[in-house]
């Protein structure tokens, strides 16, 4: 059997030295690849892994910060809406108060105008009454003088005129 194996190896041209050289070359090649290619390749892969992990962390931090900013913006928007509503409510209250003031002022002005008109009416009425009294007095004197002229004789008339002149002179 052993001879059959050598015969087979000899028939195939099996060279043990070639195998050893190839094995040593292969091992040297593996060592060179490990020293010059595998280390830098693994370092590059590790750097890439760290870069991707950092990018994921940064993205997560950015997402959290964006969510935080979004909440802050929502809170500010809500506060701005509340402030705007307060301003609107305050403006409505001021408008209502101003409306009431204007209405009160208008009522006071109307009352003042009404009172002024009533006073003026009363004054005009008194003037009219005084004018009518003067006219009635004048007419009464005129009528009385006409009646007296007809009924008095000349002597009585002169006496009446004389008495009247004295009375007017005493009053002065």
Distances (CA, A) of 100 to 64, 111, 112, 116, 137: 53, 16, 18, 24, 54
Give the whole-angstrom CA distance, residue 76 versus residue 82.
Answer: 10
Q: pLDDT 10s digit of each residue in the chain, 172 long?
A: 445 544 445 545 667 788 899 999 999 998 888 888 887 888 889 999 999 999 999 999 999 999 999 999 999 999 999 999 999 999 999 999 999 999 999 999 999 999 999 999 999 988 888 887 777 666 667 667 766 665 666 777 777 777 767 766 676 5
And the tokens for 89?
Answer: 């409510």
Cβ distance 160 to 148 under 8 Å? yes
Please state whether the predicted TM-score (pTM) of the whole model is above 0.75: no
Please name the residue that has the structure tokens 């609107």.
88
Cβ distance 140 to 149 under 8 Å? no
Question: Which pLDDT belongs to residue 97?
Answer: 94
Question: Which pLDDT belongs to residue 46?
Answer: 94
> Torsion-angle region of residue 13: left (phi > 0), alpha (psi -120 to 50) or beta?
left
Nearest one of 70, 52, 86, 96 to 44, comparing CA atoms:
52
Residues 6+ apart with CB under 8 A from 52: none
Nearest one of 146, 172, 168 to 157, comparing CA atoms:
146
Q: Where along the chain do its domains lie? A: 2-171
Cβ distance 164 to 152 under 8 Å? no
Question: Which pLDDT belongs to residue 154?
Answer: 72
The one-character DSSP state at 172 is -
Residues 6+ apart with CB under 8 A from 106: none
């Amino acid at each position: 059997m052993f001879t059959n194996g050598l015969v087979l190896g000899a028939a195939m041209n099996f060279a043990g030295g070639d195998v050893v050289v190839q094995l040593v070359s292969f091992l040297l090649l593996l060592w060179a690849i490990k020293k010059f290619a595998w280390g830098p390749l693994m370092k590059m892969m590790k750097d890439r892994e760290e870069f991707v992990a950092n990018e994921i962390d940064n993205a997560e931090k950015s997402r959290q910060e964006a969510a935080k900013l979004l909440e802050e913006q929502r809170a500010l928007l809500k506060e701005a809406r509340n402030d705007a509503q307060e301003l609107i409510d305050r403006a409505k209250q001021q408008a209502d108060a101003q409306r009431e003031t204007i209405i009160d002022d208008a009522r006071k002005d109307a009352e003042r105008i009404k009172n002024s008109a009533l006073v003026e009416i009363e004054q005009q009425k008194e003037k009219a009454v005084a004018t009518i009294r003067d006219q009635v007095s004048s007419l009464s004197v005129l009528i009385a003088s006409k009646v007296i002229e007809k009924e008095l004789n000349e002597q009585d008339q002169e006496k009446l005129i004389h008495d009247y002149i004295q009375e007017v002179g005493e009053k002065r």
